[in-house]
Amino acid sequence: MLFKKKYTFIETIRKYKRMSILVAILFVGGIVIFATRGSQDSSAEAGDTQKPVSLLSLSHIQENQVVATASGEIESLEQVTLSSEMFGTVSRVYVVIGDKVKAGQLLLQFKANDRAAQYTQTQADYENALASKNSLLAQIDVAYANHEKLKINVASSITSAESALRMAENNLQQVANTGSNAIVDDAYADLVQTVHSDQDTFVDMLVVADTILGIDNQFANDAFEDILGILNSGSLSIAKQNYYSAKNAKENFHSQMIGVNSASSKETIDAVALSAKETLSVYAVLFASLTTLF
């Protein structure tokens, strides 16, 4: 039976050969269509999970310049403060902050009227200075003349005092060996009178020195005050030191002369006579230094 049915199926195919081919073609076509749809569905599902990829083009690498714009003021690290030899109102400025300038370049200009006024003032100052100079020269001439007179008078006073003292001492030495007390006493009396005269001379000569230096009496040297300001400061300082030395010597001599008279002992009179000679030497040094001032 089995072989019979198989045989029948084959016979049927043979009998309907054209129809069988058609059915086979339809079957194969259905399979192809189904496979194609399945492939499209798979592609659609894959498209839902993947992102599209696009190609980028590379640009050329090149340097760019960055420009920053800002407002401000340029100030140099090294600065110089300039000052004008004259004052006035500035009429024009030829440079601004930050400009480079050269030596001799005109920076600013003053008003002409200000410069004219300054010139007039300068001319007046010059004339005043010239007048002061002439006045000072005249004072110098007067001071020189007075100084010469003072030198002569002082030199004469010192010489006279030294001569009188020397003469009194010589007389005393001559009569010391005579054996006459009366003559010796008279000689000592003359010596006492001489040293008293020297004491007055010391006072007068110190006043004369102060007339030049103006130490104890600042108003006494008006005729020499302006001159002393232009003299050698070293010589002036020495003269002032000698003045103080003479002043101290005068005061010491004055202290020794207190109570001295013709009745004083011969030793006392001899001591003050020696002190008078020493004081005269100090005064001679003082006036020698004063002569170097002019």
Which residues, including other chains, have CB under 8 Å from residue 176's CB and lie 6 or more apart?
184, 187
Q: What is the CATH number of the domain that holds 284?
A: 1.20.120
Among residues 292, 212, 214, 216, the alpha carbon closest in space to that of 250 is found at 216
| Helix H or strand E segment including 90 | strand 90-93
User: Is residue 112 in a domain?
Assistant: no
35 within some domain = no
Q: Residue 59: inside a domain, yes or no?
A: no
Is 49 part of a structural domain of the chain?
A: no
Q: What is the pTM of this model?
A: 0.46
97 within a domain of the structure (yes/no): no
Highest mean pLDDT among 117-131, 161-175, 219-233, 236-250: 236-250
The mean pLDDT of 139-154, rounded to a whole number, is 63
The number of distinct structural domains making up the chain is 1
Using CB atoms within 10 Å of the CB of residue 277, give its burial: 0 to 12 exposed, 13 to 18 middle, 19+ buried.
middle
Whole-angstrom Cα distance, residue 76 to residue 260? 86
- What is the C-alpha separation between 118 and 182, in angstroms, rounded? 86
Identify the pLDDT of residue 35. Answer: 60
Q: Parallel, antiparallel, or unpaired: how do β-strands 108-110 and 90-93 relate?
A: antiparallel
Lowest mean pLDDT among 15-29, 88-102, 145-159: 15-29
pLDDT at residue 5 in the model: 45
What secondary structure letter does DSSP report for 61? P
pLDDT tier for residue 28 given thresholds of 50, 70 and 90:
low
Q: Is the residue at 34 inside a domain?
A: no
Q: Is residue 252 situated within a structural domain? A: yes
Check residue 127 and give its pLDDT.
78
Q: Which domain holds residue 160?
A: 139-291
Of 131 and 222, which is predicted with more confidence? 131
Q: What percent of the chain clears pLDDT 90, i.e. is strictly above it?
A: 7
pLDDT of residue 40: 55
Structure tokens at 41: 């569905």
At residue 243, the pLDDT reads: 93
With respect to residue 22, please indicate whether it lies within any of the assigned structural domains: no
Token look-up 């492939």 returns: 39
Task: Among 84-88, 115-119, 176-180, 267-271, name the one with the lowest average pLDDT.
Answer: 176-180
pLDDT digits (tens, 9 = 90+) for 180-228: 677 777 888 888 888 888 888 888 888 888 887 888 887 766 666 666 6
Looking at the DSSP bridge assignments, the partners of residue 92 are: 109
